[in-house]
């Protein structure tokens, strides 16, 4: 670090940037209209320097980490010399605006100080609907982006303080839930104003040149820390192949081929060999693919590495054009989140070879995204949520339940909020016994949620994963339980639905959609699990006595208080080991 840099001042300003980004997030959460933003927290915020480089990101979605840079470079490049005080920019299109998918709308505000462009206050939020062929705009069956909804290039939503009413009207006319979408856009604008106000307070306190000078030092500092952490990993090429089950009833499985190369203090994530882009809405746009690589690598670094653009300089991402990880126009990408989650999981599989103590076994695959949309009293409703989540087991403990995927710090919508706002009743929400992958440490249990429709009719769309290709274990740990989607009709008939529903299904009053997400993978040999831990699981009804014997070789003696039958357990485990050898 240069001798003229005060490390205490650097830390103060780093913390200030972090606080500003978090305050933008809190403002957006508190002022938003839709549950997908307010309750699921499917959004991200960041404060950027004048060049559009992220200084800090808010608390929400790590998979957006790094995505701001490409969007900001597009705005700055397109409007250079025409950026004014009071402007607000809007965009979402992957092919003209470096967006991620159409439901994720960027609202970005330039920050001026004494007439000089001094930074940017930025938000990106998943909107409840942006039009297209299915409610919620996550059309798995779309074959081109034109079917997915309203495409917005980089436009001035507000120009020098004056709203561009034509754009507002176009947005409101093209979405099913205009009150929520317009309300959420206004919430994003309010959040941007919060970031603008607080960054200007820093300029007032420390001076513009000082703050921006230390912003540059922060990028360099983050890069040095990231490179030092990468240098701690053994050099080598670490490969892992993972799969997405496929689109629809008999879709061809999709291959993700990761090669993580560590050379000194530099990391390269290479997706060469992954499947070509598909005629379905799960193609991952390049900014999103890069963000997922940054998320995976950042997760194996200590918490004190700043979440600014600087740390990404140590990570190169290769994603061949025309593949599922970098589609070309007009490839659809509305449900690309499932591919992003699986990319992170795939990278964890590779990183387990280089840093086994820093990653877990495979989890539930991120969020299931159920969407139920229809009309009630002549007015459209669109319910969607990011239903999380279960982790695989770590080297030192069991997998966690009821937690978000590493890629998205999101949350499940409370039952009461769903039932108060939509014609739905949640029949069941809880853990499913015997679903965690067996291991010395057990994978987290599956979660289930059941939705009963109370209106006349609605369209069901589902994005889920990990049925055929279940969550993998590590170091001898076994796979987690497979996911399932069941539609139980009011007349008692039941049908199994694909993991990725390309043809929307109509629900009628009284029908129940039942989703069981996959369980987390185990870590280590199941026969090495402490019988006392198995007994604890039985007492907590996470594992049945039959599963304890089958999966772990632990015999539970029945009685008023269940206990481990030590002799029976020793004999059963010895027989299992003999059979394996």
Confidence of residue 3 (pLDDT cuts 50, 70, 90): low
Centre a 10 Å sphere on the Cβ of residue 509 and count the other Cβ atoms it contains. 13
Measure the CA–CA gap between 262 and 246, rounded to whole angstroms.
Answer: 31
Residue 148 Cα to chain centre, angstroms: 20
d(CA 555, CA 543): 12
Residue 153 burial (10 A CB sphere; 0-12, 13-18, 19+): middle
| pLDDT score for 188 | 98
Could you tell me what percent of the chain has a pLDDT over 90?
93
> How confident is the model over 10-25, as a mean pLDDT?
97
- The pLDDT tens digits of the residues spanning 439-491 come to 999 999 999 999 999 999 999 999 999 999 999 999 999 999 999 999 999 99
Q: For 140-184, what is the HEC assignment?
A: CCCCCHHHCCCCCCCEEEEECCEECHHHHHHHHHHCCCHHHHHHH
pLDDT in tens, 383-401: 999 999 899 999 999 999 9
Q: What is the pLDDT of residue 580?
A: 79
Residue 17 contacts residue 57 (beta carbons within 8 Å): no
DSSP-assigned states of every residue in 367-409:
-BEEEEEEEETTEEEEEE--B-EEPPP-SSSPPPEEE--TT--
- What pLDDT is attached to residue 420? 96
Q: Is the pLDDT of residue 65 over 80?
A: no
State pTM to two decimals.
Answer: 0.95
Q: What residues contact 192, with CB distance under 8 A and at least 6 apart?
A: 24, 88, 107, 108, 109, 121, 122, 123
Q: DSSP class of residue 128?
A: S
Query: Is the Cβ–Cβ distance between 312 and 265 less than 8 Å?
Result: no
Residues in the chain: 581
Residues 6+ apart with CB under 8 A from 166: none
pLDDT tens for 200-248 read 999 999 999 999 999 999 999 999 999 999 999 999 999 999 999 999 9
Cα 557 to chain centroid distance, Å, stands at 43
pLDDT higher than threshold 60 for residue 410: yes
φ, ψ at 406 (rounded to 5°): -55, -30
Asked whether the beta carbons of 322 and 433 are under 8 A apart, the reply is no
pLDDT band per the 50, 70, 90 thresholds, residue 2: low
Quick check: 250 pLDDT over 80? no
CA nearest neighbour of 36 among 127, 103, 132: 127
94: how many CB neighbours lie within 10 A of its CB? 28
How confident is the model over 331-355, as pLDDT tens digits?
999 999 999 999 999 999 999 999 9
Q: What mean pLDDT value characterizes the chain? A: 96
Pairing status of strand 446-453 against strand 424-432: antiparallel
Residue 567 parent element (H or E): helix 566-580
541 class by beta-carbon count within 10 Å (0-12 exposed, 13-18 middle, 19+ buried):
exposed
Instruction: Note whether 361 and 492 are within 8 A (CB).
Output: no
Largest distance between two CA atoms of the chain: 81
Q: What integer pLDDT is reported at residue 110 of this predicted model?
A: 98
Chain centroid offset of residue 98 CA: 18
Q: Is the peptide bond before 337 cis (omega within 30 degrees of 0)?
A: no
| 247 token code pair | 């689109």
Residue 50: how many CB atoms within 10 A of its CB? 18
Q: Looking at per-residue confidence, does 60 or 125 come out higher?
A: 125
* Rounded average pLDDT over 292-307: 93
Confidence class for position 504, pLDDT limits 50, 70, 90: confident
52: nearest Cα among 105, 119, 124 = 119
Beta strands 505-508 and 563-564, pairing class: unpaired
- The pLDDT of residue 333 is 97
d(CA 438, CA 234): 29
Count Cβ atoms within 10 A of the Cβ of residue 318 and give its class: 0-12 exposed, 13-18 middle, 19 or more buried: middle
Residues 6+ apart with CB under 8 A from 567: none
Q: What's the rounded mean pLDDT across residues 260-282?
A: 97
Mean pLDDT (whole number) for 140-157: 97
Per-residue b or e along 261-282, where b marks 16 or more CB atoms closer than 10 Å to that residue's CB = bbeebebebbbeebbebbebbb
Token digits for 290?
Answer: 């890069």
Q: Is the pLDDT of residue 1 over 60?
A: no
Pairwise pLDDT comparison (3 vs 499), residue with the higher score: 499
Joined together, the tokens standing for residue 85 give 């005080």
Q: Residue 263 pairs with which residues in a beta bridge?
A: 266
Sign of CA dihedral 122, 128, 131, 136: positive
Q: How far is CA 380 from CA 31, 77, 183, 372, in A?
A: 22, 38, 16, 11
Q: Which DSSP string corresponds to 493-505?
A: -EEE--SB-SS-E
Higher pLDDT, 63 or 233: 233
């Amino acid at each position: 670090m240069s001798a003229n840099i005060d490390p205490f001042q650097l830390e103060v300003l780093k913390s200030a940037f972090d606080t500003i980004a978090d305050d933008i997030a809190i403002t957006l959460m508190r002022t938003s209209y839709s549950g997908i933003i307010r309750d699921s927290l499917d959004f991200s915020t960041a404060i950027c320097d004048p060049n559009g480089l992220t200084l800090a990101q808010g608390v929400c979605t790590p998979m957006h980490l790094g995505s701001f840079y490409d969007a900001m470079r597009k705005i700055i490049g397109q409007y250079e010399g025409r950026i004014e005080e009071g402007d607000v920019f809007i965009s979402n299109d992957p092919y003209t605006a470096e967006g991620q998918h159409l439901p994720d709308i960027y609202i970005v505000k330039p920050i001026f100080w004494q007439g000089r462009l001094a930074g940017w206050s930025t938000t990106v939020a998943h909107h409840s609907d942006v039009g297209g062929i299915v409610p919620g705009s996550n059309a798995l069956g779309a074959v081109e982006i034109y079917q997915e909804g309203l495409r917005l290039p980089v436009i001035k939503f507000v120009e020098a303080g004056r709203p561009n009413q034509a754009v507002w009207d176009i947005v409101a006319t093209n979405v099913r839930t205009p009150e929520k979408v317009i309300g959420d856009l206004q919430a994003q604008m309010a959040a941007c104003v919060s970031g603008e106000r607080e960054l200007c307070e820093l300029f007032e306190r420390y001076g513009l040149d000082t703050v921006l000078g230390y912003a540059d030092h922060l990028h360099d500092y983050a890069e040095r820390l990231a490179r030092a952490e990468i240098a701690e990993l053994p050099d080598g090429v670490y490969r892992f192949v993972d799969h997405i089950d496929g689109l629809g009833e008999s879709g061809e499985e999709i291959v993700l081929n990761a090669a993580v190369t560590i050379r000194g203090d530099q990391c390269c994530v290479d997706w060469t060999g992954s499947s070509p882009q598909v005629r379905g809405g799960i193609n991952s746009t390049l900014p999103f693919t890069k963000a997922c690589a940054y998320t995976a690598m950042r997760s194996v670094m200590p918490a004190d590495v700043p979440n600014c653009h600087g740390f990404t300089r140590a990570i190169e991402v290769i994603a061949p054009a025309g593949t599922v990880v970098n589609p070309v126009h007009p490839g659809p990408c509305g449900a690309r989140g499932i591919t992003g989650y699986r990319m992170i999981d795939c990278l964890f599989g590779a990183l387990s070879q280089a840093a086994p103590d820093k990653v877990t076994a495979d989890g539930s695959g991120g969020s299931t995204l159920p969407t139920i949309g229809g009309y009630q009293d002549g007015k459209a409703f669109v319910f969607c949520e990011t239903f999380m989540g279960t982790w695989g087991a770590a080297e030192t403990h069991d997998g966690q339940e009821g937690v978000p995927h590493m890629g998205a710090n999101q949350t499940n919508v409370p039952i009461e909020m769903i039932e108060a706002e939509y014609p739905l009743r949640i029949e069941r929400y809880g853990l499913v016994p015997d679903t965690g992958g067996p291991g010395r440490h057990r994978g987290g249990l599956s979660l289930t949620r059941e939705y009963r429709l109370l209106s006349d009719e609605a369209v069901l769309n589902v994005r889920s994963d990990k049925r055929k290709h279940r969550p993998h274990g590590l170091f001898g740990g076994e796979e987690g339980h497979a996911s399932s989607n069941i539609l139980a009709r009011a007349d008692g008939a039941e049908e199994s639905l694909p993991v990725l529903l390309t043809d929307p299904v109509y629900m009628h009053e009284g029908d129940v959609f039942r989703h069981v997400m996959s369980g987390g993978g185990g870590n280590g040999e199941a026969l090495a699990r402490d019988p006392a831990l198995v007994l604890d699981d039985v007492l907590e009804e996470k594992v049945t006595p039959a599963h304890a014997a089958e999966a772990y070789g632990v015999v539970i003696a029945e009685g008023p208080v269940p206990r481990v039958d030590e002799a029976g357990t020793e004999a059963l485990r010895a027989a299992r080991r003999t059979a394996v050898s």
